[in-house]
Structure 1
Amino acid sequence: MPDIVSQQISRFVEDGFIILRGIASQTQCEAILERSRVAIQDNTEPIEYEADLHYPGAPSSRFVHGGGTPRRLLDAFSRGHEFQAWCGEREVVDWLRSYFQRDVVCSMTHHNCVMTKHGSFGSSTGWHRDLRYWHFGRGDLVSSWLALGTENATNGGLSFIPGSHRMKLESDRFDSALFLRSETPENRSLIATAVSPCLAAGDVVLFHARTLHSAGRNQDARTKISLVFTYHADDDLPKPGTRSASRPGVRIPEDPLAARVHLAHN
């Protein structure tokens, strides 16, 4: 394992997230963006709409002004070879293999989506752990968030609470939807430690499924678009009978050529 990767993994284990700069090329980003924008324009299903979740700032229903605003283009893996190629991106997968010390599987059930945040009707997302609704043996999952343009606190970029993946938090610190209750003094103190990294197109954030994170509304006129896949070790299996087990994941082979063939024909 290269020294830089070992250092990054140590930082990830400590903080619960790590930023890898400039992983995707401009050509890769532009190709994924073009596919995504066409899918948004054509309303290519499956799509999760802002109005479906009723998060703060979202339209009240699909039948009001802005009700057709997409939040996520679901099943990104099936939307074209650009998405499949990124799912198997060697630099990211090799990093994950070094972290897991196992072969890597990409979940088709969790994330596997293009995240969009529109300036007019994009909602904010409260502090939460992704693992709240995911069901795996160890629950050691890592999400790869690819910025396809500039991301920061102004346009609804991600914020993280460093080290929160290692914290044991009592259930009464969360509301019924398992969002961190922001009104309590102890939670406010925790939220005060949050960081909001600035990303450029091609940057990747890897974050643990237990890391508390949030995202505000997009105050920019331009729509922010990101691509997100979630990975786990091949021996950290979804629990039978849960949504996590409803679709088989995609195993990413170690050999780059085998990976391209496997991903293209899965």
Structure 2
Amino acid sequence: MPIESKLEQVRALREHGYVVVPGLVAPERCEEMRDVARQQLIDAAMPVEFEADLQYPGAPDSKSAPGGHTVRRLLDAYARDALFADWAKSPDVRGWMEIYFGEQPVLSRAHHNCVMTKHPAYGSLTGWHRDVRYWNFQRDDLVSAWIALGAETVENGGLWFVPMSHKLTFTSDRFDSAKFFRADIPENEALIRSAVSPELKAGDVVFFHCNTLHSAGKNLTDEVKFSLVYTYRGASNPPLPGTRSASKEDVPLT
């Protein structure tokens, strides 16, 4: 990818809080990763997170309820398969992150680092939130890369973003006890009405800032949606000792 294109994309991310990079993952590579993810989902290859674990709206009440063993995330994607790890450290990603951070980028293994699987029927919706709600770093300046392994639309639970929300400061009362952005407050409702949901094709990548408000709806189609998600930081922005953010050894991109 030409350096000029990456610079323009980074500028868009800084301005809007997210940017879509079409076709960053080659079709063959995307298909291979999707096939691996699909087989690991069939095998319920550990570690996994179940919808019932989180109790988000639409999730089964418990693991013993109908749909109780619906998988939400195939965890630790970096260690699951060389295809996932190779993409996480690929030159395209490293070069992009070097431009954004202006220093050596580092992959966080404690956050995201998973294959998101959104199922019909028992796949829950995700409320409005900022990813940094449970993250602990010296600075709130991290970027996530969301890779669409298949088509993503509003119908199958695609992402929604509130543009430029990463620049806003909110008081704690704008969020509920679980740190989700409250939709019952007029000033919050106005922001949510400005949200957009970019339609993605297989191989498209969305880069978004850790403070950007985002959400995702339910999957109303008949097929499982697969997305690979990683989060990156600059080398000078380490996790705070003793927190979950420091619970796994990070991976410097070299």
Query: In the alignment, residue 232 of structure 1 is paired with which amino acid?
Result: R
Q: Distance in 1 between matches of 2:42 and 2:199?
A: 27
Asked whether 1:199 is paired with 2:197, we answer: no
Q: Distance in 1 between matches of 2:69 and 2:30?
A: 25
Q: Give the match's secondary structure for 2:15.
A: helix
Give the structure 2 partner of residue 172 of structure 1: 173
Structure 2, unaligned runs of 5 or more: none
Matches within 5 A, 1:29-68: 29-68=30-69
For residue 2 of structure 1, report the CA deviation from its aligned partner.
Answer: 2.5
Query: In the alignment, residue 54 of structure 1 is paired with which amino acid?
Result: Q
Q: Distance in 1 between matches of 2:32 and 2:7?
A: 31
Percent of aligned pairs sharing the same letter: 49
Give the structure 1 partner of residue 161 of structure 2: 160
The one-character-per-residue Cα deviations of 1:47-103 (angstroms, maximum 9, x if unpaired) are: 000000000000000011100100000010111110111111211221111010000
Matches within 5 A, 1:79-228: 79-228=80-229
Query: In the alignment, residue 26 of structure 1 is paired with which amino acid?
Result: P
Q: Distance in 1 between matches of 2:212 and 2:244?
A: 21
Stretch deviating more after TM superposition (33-42 or 100-109): 33-42
Query: In the alignment, residue 228 of structure 1 is paired with which amino acid?
Result: V
Q: Distance in 2 between matches of 1:246 and 1:11?
A: 32
For residue 246 of structure 1, report the CA deviation from its aligned partner.
Answer: 1.0
Q: Distance in 1 between matches of 2:78 and 2:3?
A: 29
Asked whether 1:9 is paired with 2:15, we answer: no
How many positions carry a matched residue from both structures? 253
Superposed CA RMSD: 0.9
The one-character-per-residue Cα deviations of 1:219-266 (angstroms, maximum 9, x if unpaired) are: 01110000001000111000011010111100110xxxxxxxxxxxxx
Q: Distance in 2 between matches of 1:84 and 1:3?
A: 27
Q: Distance in 1 between matches of 2:3 and 2:243?
A: 37
For residue 124 of structure 1, report the CA deviation from its aligned partner.
Answer: 0.1
Query: In the alignment, residue 42 of structure 1 is paired with which amino acid?
Result: D
Asked whether 1:76 is paired with 2:89, we answer: no
Q: Distance in 2 between matches of 1:62 and 1:38?
A: 21
Q: Distance in 1 between matches of 2:9 and 2:76?
A: 29
The one-character-per-residue Cα deviations of 1:158-204 (angstroms, maximum 9, x if unpaired) are: 00000000000111010000001101111110101100000000000
Structure 1, unaligned runs of 5 or more: 254-266
Q: TM-score, normalized by length of structure 1?
A: 0.94
Q: Distance in 1 between matches of 2:59 and 2:6?
A: 39
Q: Give the match's secondary structure for 1:106.
A: strand
